[in-house]
Structure 1
Amino acid sequence: MSQELIMMALEEDIGEGDVTSQYFVPENKTAIAFVTVREEGVVSGVKLAKAVFLEVDPNLEVQILVEDGSKVGPGAMLIRVEGKARSILTAERTALNFLQRLSGVATMTARYVNLVRHTRARILDTRKTTPGYRALEKQAVLDGGGTNHRMGLYDRAMVKDNHLAAEGGIEAVQKAIQQVKADKPHVEVELEADRLEQVRAFVELEGVDYILLDNMSLEELKEAVEIRGDKHRVRLEASGGVNLSTVVEIAETGVDFISVGALTHSSPSLDIGLDFVGGK
């Protein structure tokens, strides 16, 4: 999938050819360039950026200097590239687009993770990802110290209010859970609760792995943790109203997970550039 994205990204950028490099950069000119970070953050997508350079020109010498998941500061050099100047310039924007975007996700994730480090809560991503980028963005969350929620509709049954309304009662929910576990033992089951009475009912069901506590107040979250009691086979996930200002108080209620859609739909790109340092 990553290779397909690289090909699509290069095709939309290069089209019939890089006319600027073709007419303004001598064909035989060689260069050395460094991909450099211009602000503090956590990097992700370094290997992907290397693959972009090599896709444009397999003869480029591309050296990774900093691994994905590393915390860096302004001036940190991530990649060294040497070879034809035209090739480096043609690959530059696409490589940086991947790297800036994914490093932004990793950096934002790290901010959330650091804030709740003193609690048991782990920071989760969601399915609110850029179409086609899901695997990359979820890897960026891991690089930032976060935890992946389900990858898609296929690897966890997540039963929300609309599903419950259509299901026909708690007995029907229990029967459906048992059928899922029988047919697909590897699939986990999560039920969404927006009221504490639902939490009380859901913790008594067999086969429930997670309960999503949707838009509950801090007091409700604390009470949900008490309701769960010693039934630690059921993990609690807080969702809704989560931001950098609220995440600490949410984590301190005792929930196991906090899902943050903003990690993948609202993280600003990290400022990363490419600088030429020499050539012939």
Structure 2
Amino acid sequence: MTVAVAPTRPVETLIVQAKELLGVEYHLVDCFAYIAILHPQFGAAALVPDDNKLDAETGASELNEAFKKAGILTKAIPLALSATSVEPPILIRSGPQMATDIAVTMGRASVSLQELSSDQYTAAKVALEKHAIERRKRVLDPTLMKMIQGAIAKVTEGKRIFAGGPEVSVEEVVMPEFLLPAVLLAAAENWTMPVAAQQGKGGFVVHMKADDSAVLMFRVSHIEVSSPLLLMLPLVDVIRRSKRGGEYILDECITRFGNFITGHLTPELETSLELRIATSS
């Protein structure tokens, strides 16, 4: 089993198809998890490559926040694709019919919007490009993931690792949708006081997303670190503390993660989670 860091994305295929179908009247930007679509008259949309309406709504919210920061008076709507069913105004048809549904749906949603001037349209495109760059930075860094895996492999030295009963591999421990959320939470809790004592220096931020297919119902989506070394220290410490005899038992990490989620469960936490350990400056 390998670490799932940045698999080939359906968005990459979708944006090629969308550009061909929509033509030059629409400006399309790859925002990694979705496509940002911009039209001077019809406004904007966040298009996801599947039927996940929640992801589409999250994308639209992100785009609207980017427009707001740039002072642009337009609005993004969520769009999701389905090959089997259509549920306007979010779920539209995939394939060749996609272009028609995008134009119709965006057109209907833009009735109350004012058409963007040439300058505003240019500013909106710039805002989307900046947003896309920032969003891509929030993707898990493959180099950092390799460092995490290497650090845990070094400290465990090939010894057996167990989590909730079954034996697991180092690769499974660092998988974003497997045990990494629990290990990072334990590291974050242990590291909070030392970082606070240093006035926030050496902190890190862990972003997680709700994922029904993940072992712990959350997957790590991004890690911000002031220094990779200062992330490795608390991570390695957590693993070392889990040693029992000649084996490593990660049950406590899983229990702590479950307790944290239960104790902090809110409507917002049901979709995303951010562990901010002081600051990451």
How high is the TM-score relative to the length of structure 1? 0.26
Compare CA radii of gyration and give the structure with the larger one.
1
How high is the TM-score relative to the length of structure 2? 0.25
Q: Which has the higher contact order (CA 8 A, sep 6+)?
A: 1
